[in-house]
Structure 1
Amino acid sequence: MAAATEREKAEKKRLQAFLGEILRVGAIKGFQYFTLYLRGREELLCSIINELKPESGVPLSTHISTEKSSELPLNKSSLMLSIGTQQRLSGLAHMNIGLPPASPSDKEITPVAPDQTLFLIAGYARYNCPYVWIRSHHHRLVNLTHASSADKDNPLKLNATNNWGREEIHLWDILAELVHLCTVPAPRNPFALDLVYFQQLPLADRVTSTGAMVWLLQQILKSSGNKEYTGKVFEDLHDVTKLHFHSMQQWAREKLPQQQQQQQQQRPAGGGYRPGVQRGPTAVYGY
């Protein structure tokens, strides 16, 4: 009994750490292949581009992952958890309840571009671990020809979520796997940055946004090990760090003189110290 209690505490602690990652990462923008939308404490929406397009003057082959992409759509059994597995994991087989999201995908109100697919990443306390659901363009990813409408809300069978109980899994592990699944051909670096996005931000926003991205890329590198994208993430970290400090210097040059001028204007007349001038009570206190 004591061992089970300790295990439950450890699982809850891990889930809380994952929810903390959702809160910290959910507002960060500036990726090339996906966009995040924070929705509540337990849910994160992720919109991922469907097709990798070549950049001007850059061969597409330089951005393609060496790992073979899956041919879409996949069979339901290979991409989604079966209802039997869901009921076993949820512990609600006696009620015929699996692992549904908080709301069905048919009720999803988040607008999605035609060339993107929306996913829901959630760490519901009742499941005690994270799961991912497709929220749009289901038929592009999975063959649901002979499936019921309820099958659209089956959670995905991902390596990251399957290994949750055995390995240290972070939010960015799930994001990397989703990009590799959704984008064709799969990009070599799922976390590639859109530096133009940062450069076009107002100065104050650029300082905070690049600072947040620097933190996130550092976290990815700390836990990624020797992944295929590690080197590319390091290159992007170098570029965004350089932009961050350049923006900080620019902000200091523009803002510090203004602050000094405001301080001088707010300083009371005659209240400053002048060397060689004797100041008695009348001069200081006005009597």
Structure 2
Amino acid sequence: MKLKSIFLSVVTLLAVLFLGACSQSSNGDVNKDQWTTYESNKKITIGFDNTFVPMGFEDKSGKNVGFDIDLATAVFKKYGIEVNWQPINWDLKETELKNGTIDLIWNGYSKTKEREEKVLFTNPYMENEQVLVTKKSSKISEVADMKDKILGAQAGSSGYQVFEEKPDVLKNLVKDQAATQYESFNEALIDLQNSRIDGLLIDRVYANYYLKEQGILADYTIIPVAYDGENFAVGARQSDKTLVENINKAFKDLYKEGTFQEISKKWFGDDVATADVKK
């Protein structure tokens, strides 16, 4: 009985310590503005989906690369802060941020009204839209052709969110009025290639880059979907106001210097900056 009592006491202590840790980030109290802590520690942790090409992903050598990787690195270089890139389950991104295991969500993260209730966003830095990708061999060339067809989407993505919020656009058409959910777009595209799904709701930037890199763009149809356009922004905790202000300032400074454009042209061959960045 004594050993059992000691065991229960240890388990209770560990539970308390775990819950306490969940209210702290690696830098300090998540309920306070932590900019001075980031500056003094010279480190910040960014959560990202390491399969989301070309925004932020792990290449064949195991290195984290992508547009957002380069941009975030340039932003924090201005403040002498090193970025620690933390791969996360994209479906749990806001939970990871709230618990303090990451300090920012930065990886093609679309700014939406629902997400604004949970996080503090920077100014948008890039525009995006949701598209439907199908195999040309399927003869699906417009949204209406998806009637009773199987749709795929990434769990926790803005695409899946708007799919649910605006059922008249696509949801009411597809089989079972539901989408097969995937942890990553890579898995979804493999299923599309193997005809396990008929169409995939996906970010245009990802679809274009992936299909071009694979040399199969000509085999697929990219169909615009009647959802509102999206803006990519960086998500922080509501308390990290100074952090967000400094990221916004760095965006503008990098654009004035031409660094933003260099990074943009490296990954997209064009200047993708929003009006907020160019001001």
Structure whose residues are more often helix by fraction: 1
Greater Rg, structure 1 or structure 2?
1
Greater share of strand: 2
The one of the two structures with greater contact order (alpha-carbon pairs below 8 A, sep at least 6) is 2
Tell me if TM exceeds 0.5.
no
